[in-house]
Structure 1
């Protein structure tokens, strides 16, 4: 490439044509490519920018292009270019030139191309756009012979790449001697801006699955989060979270988003909001390390050797900051080669097919989990999952694959049952026709009833010295009983079978409770433990229930009701109000409620101590690590507080924050225990306005599935002591997206263990 003098008028004229005068008529929204040049110290800068006519300062326009350069304007040389927002990507590379004015002396310049984009395209699309632009710009077959030719080509190509809003070229002289070796690799810098909110942004344009470390630079005041995970978009399970500069005083390694602390170090003023600072992260040989500087392996300040049961392959990267600071991240990559369109299309088609079958496979597992401990025929499974006749063979293959993985089992010819991973090859799990004889001392005094599969797993994780018996029937209802101990109490847990018609499910639930109390005649207390739907408050933290919290059934008035079911709703003529016909239940014996109040007072007297349920949750996650369901807490960013107005507009609110003394002991992501009535009834839970009104009228803190059949059965069997404990999984009735259900079930089970541990 030859270096021509900057004052070459002929070259400039070939680019820009005639002098531009003030336009007599133009369309305000017409788009032009505007070039502005500037010089700062020993650096030459050129900005190429896509602008509408209404954005152009015509007093600064010097020339307009014609012919192939139509639609291109050139501004007068500027002393300084106007400041703009940070670039979203850049490329840095060395250029070797021959200076024709100095006997073809070799000159080495350092070039930087910065890029900005229009719209909200994802990072991968943006990265592909600027790398394709660069590769076409630097095509060796028709590479420009001088600077002017290079700028001409860059302007023309910018018209073609409509996603790119702005390109800047910075040319700096370097004193390094020219090298006869091949050019060093071209560095691509990916920029990510994170807001002052704990909201992770995934960075798929920076691949990590084929690496063991990465280097980046960061500008933030405090609290910078970097997550390395196994599964894209999942930051709760199989994730290492690195916090750099928490309050700009210490740095951490945690297991999962806001998860268990695994390593920490004092790092006072490690971050700066005024300048970029380099960091590196390494995960080679399952050893998480974090350090300062550009050379990975040096200046390490954090490390954690991951134990075998916590190890996984890292496949994706995400970053965030929180309320303490915004952040600007730059990740350094080598320029990738383009992938052919055909290969991309074929990969996309394969991915789409895989996702469809993955969804069907998950649906199969869900059907069997709902039916458990009952089995289902393959025909019923396929009907529930809407498997086409032409896909039957593939579906059968999937069933057998799930059996090989130990998730399901063909208990009879064509009859399938869900099998917990913890029960595989476990001698304490038996399928029996009749339960073994239990002595008086072995008989449980407490029964725990669950409905969802994940609820049963969570409860069983809290039980010690346990044995599980599946009383299996090929026709009719089966039963599952897990016997063991929590604290000093002998307990039994069971699961209601779901599926089929609602009336049939209610009859099945009543029969299950009747059999349970008949078989285990010493049961004094019954706990209904599982998930529910939170009743939020949009302004008062003390009344607000959010996802992950636990609600315990306590009465709020003299009626003593702890569970209220809406049987019928009637519209009040001439108003927006409704009249509700209800039925309520209360617990005649107060033993469990008194234990709840005792535990409540003990926790309130010691607000700074670690909550016992947090310890039980961690133990439960360890025990359930290999289960198909993910029992880690989902990211708090997935807890969105939405309100649908009467006109259908959906408004998102911030969760109310605690004030005063309460704010000193509260952090985002912790479990709050709330106390009040549990409600039910599809008539009110499906309508947000009625749901909120019904909750306010009856002191309801949470809704759940309709458990009136279970309570009727308890009442009919003269059980006088029951309690309902619900972990919040959505803002409905707990039947929403599966994402929060396992963690909510585990939170409820952990509180249950706390309660039984102190129960006399």
Structure 2
């Protein structure tokens, strides 16, 4: 046995080993004596000690404070066979050496993520077990002083295919849009209620008019698109009970006037909200603004901003639901979104409450199960420390000290809708035995839509909910969704969770992954959407004191990237909307 200096060392100890897994513990310890069962490193590795055998300690170990899991593919040099391996890092923390304060939960998460990003950096990612463990020990030795202990579990997985995943965190720009029937339907749905013409769509996208016309004819045969006068096309509203084309909205008696307005931006969002409304009728107003230059088929009628209003009941409340023709920050999109909102609130002047309902991108929490947002969950705009529920980032500047953001904040004067949402979340979180009302509303709607609805509102497979972490530049790595430390706490299948926090938008922060994460952490943002600030400006300009944003999570960016999840995410958001409305006091004039 050899005496050593009473200094803190980084010690690796085997914990357990099976036929297909190995678990190691790497921790900071003071070791006074060593023996032949230990390897004490020297030279540039001084301060590292390796126990050759497992050490059994008395007492019960505390559960890990955080964990991160990712997977790697090992390739046999002899056979070329791929073997997938799960690697789990479990973290324990301690106060920093220069303070007695224990790192906060957010600080722990930040340290764990920074450690992980440095560990798996593509520049020097370890290619074998020894290099992987060695890098963990060296990182602990020289940095990350608040990490007390890391448990490393390496487990080989059988029968897993090599995954197909994006190569970087950002999509390539400037891609040519391929002409397909699905793409044409997407454009028609996006423009709805504005009609589109084959001439305009072909010109805007550089497509052949005859080929485009063939795709439109196919969509017509599937009852997805209908032909209007003047050679224009729009979405066939197959789910509406009654659709009336009007030049202006008919006059309504006072008791039939809606007091709640719901604004959507995508066609599937509008369908989802409509499925929550009873006794509904839809009015569409098309606006023509003259003719464009003539073609071989004669002059083409030009359409202005059209409007769609679906009226009906949710619970004791009269509702009007509309769809914006487009959103975003082009001048045309901002003008159209603002005009549509202003026209809605001008037409229905008894509206007191405004709901912005649809899809958004979630802000994942890579290490904390309770804070993590998954696809199909819902984020409800809720006041942060500054009482803001929505933030628009005009500009983000990267400096030596970090990121600086120019932000336009928005808040309602009345937070009664947010309070109802908070009570719904509290009830659901406290009682797992009772099915939350929004889950029942969602199931009823799925039964109504049936299996043949288009779009398909059924939940996609959870296997498609892939989580990636940006690890520097544009490199990403797939990581596992965090698991609860308490194994008795699990997500229930088909039961989305509600999260409360602010919602944000802004092209620069949405586009750049690292900036988006920093903005979310700094501002307390839980979801990003596709720029609704012009809509909120109109709501506030029309002196509406109560408004709320409800975002079903369809991806981990801004809700526009993963089409597969959009219908289901829209339906969950609409179901939560109905639950909030049913929690409101009934209006006095009905």
TM-score by length of 2: 0.65
Which of the residues 174, 179, 191 maps onto 1:371?
Answer: 191
> Is 1:360–1:385's contact at 8 Å kept on the other side of the alignment?
no
Q: Corresponding residue for 1:188?
A: none
Aligned to 1:179: none
1:720 to 517, 523, 545: 545
- 1:646-678 deviations in whole A, cap 9, x for unaligned? 2433211110012327x4352366411111000
Contact 1:636 1:669 in 2 (8 A): no
Conservation of the 8 A alpha-carbon contact between 1:420 and 1:627:
no
Counterpart in the other structure of 1:569: 396
* Distance in 1 between residues matched to 2:529 and 2:383, nearest whole Å: 17
Note closer, same or farther for the CA distance 1:530–1:499 as it changes in structure 2 (3 Å cut): closer
1:619-648 per-residue CA deviation (whole Å, 9 max, x = no partner) reads: 222333343211111111111110122243
- Over the aligned positions, Cα root-mean-square deviation in angstroms equals 2.8
Corresponding position: 1:610 with 2:424? no
Structure 2 runs not aligned, ≥5 long: 1-73, 87-154, 161-175, 289-302, 586-590
Out of 642, 649, 654, the position equivalent to 2:475 is 649
Confirm whether residue 419 of structure 1 aligns to residue 246 of structure 2.
no
CA contact (8 A) 2:361 2:554 kept: yes
Deviation string for 1:328-367 (max 9, x for gaps)?
Answer: 9xxxxxxxxxxxxxxxxxxxxxxxxxxx999611111111
Q: Structure 2 CA distance, aligned partners of 1:617 and 1:362?
A: 26
- TM-superposed CA distance for 1:609, in Å, is 1.4
Determine the structure 2 residue equivalent to 1:677. 502
Q: Is residue 645–residue 651 contact of structure 1 (8 Å, CA) maintained in 2?
A: yes
Query: Residues 594-743 of structure 1 correspond to what in structure 2 (within 5 A)?
Result: 594-625=419-450, 626-660=452-486, 663-667=488-492, 670-743=495-568
Cα deviation digits, residues 445-490 of structure 1 (max 9, x gap): 1000000111000000110110000011123211000000111111
Distance in 2 between the 1:378 and 1:359 partners? 13
The 1:739–1:165 alpha-carbon spacing in structure 2 relative to 1, beyond 3 Å, is closer
1:593 deviates by 1.6
**Structure 2 residue matching 1:541: 3-state secondary structure:** coil
Give the aligned length.
410
CA distance in 1, matches of 2:397, 2:491: 41
Matched residues in 2 for 1:500 and 1:695: separation?
Answer: 20
Q: Distance in 2 between matches of 1:586 and 1:672?
A: 24
The counterpart of 1:401, out of the listed 218, 221, 232, is 218
Q: For the residues of structure 1 that align with 2:499 and 2:331, how far apart are their CA atoms?
A: 32
Partners of 1:571 and 1:698 in 2: CA distance:
16
Question: Is this contact kept in 2: 1:613–1:750, CA < 8 A?
Answer: yes
Q: Tell me the residue number matched to 1:513.
A: 341
1:542 positional shift: 1.6
Shift of 1:570: 1.9
Contact 1:470 1:478 in 2 (8 A): yes
- Report the Cα distance in structure 1 between the residues aligned to 2:213 and 2:473, rounded to whole angstroms: 47
SS in 2 for 1:441: helix
Is residue 483–residue 490 contact of structure 1 (8 Å, CA) maintained in 2? yes
- Give the aligned partner of residue 272 of structure 2: 458
Matches within 5 A, 1:79-478: 360-388=180-208, 392-423=209-240, 426=241, 428-474=242-288, 475-478=303-306
Deviation, 1:434, is: 1.6
| TM-score, length of structure 1 as denominator length | 0.51
Report the 3-state secondary structure (helix = DSSP H, G, I; strand = E; otherwise coil) of the residue aligned with 1:421.
Answer: coil
CA contact (8 A) 2:362 2:526 kept: yes
Q: Give the structure 2 partner of residue 257 of structure 1.
A: none
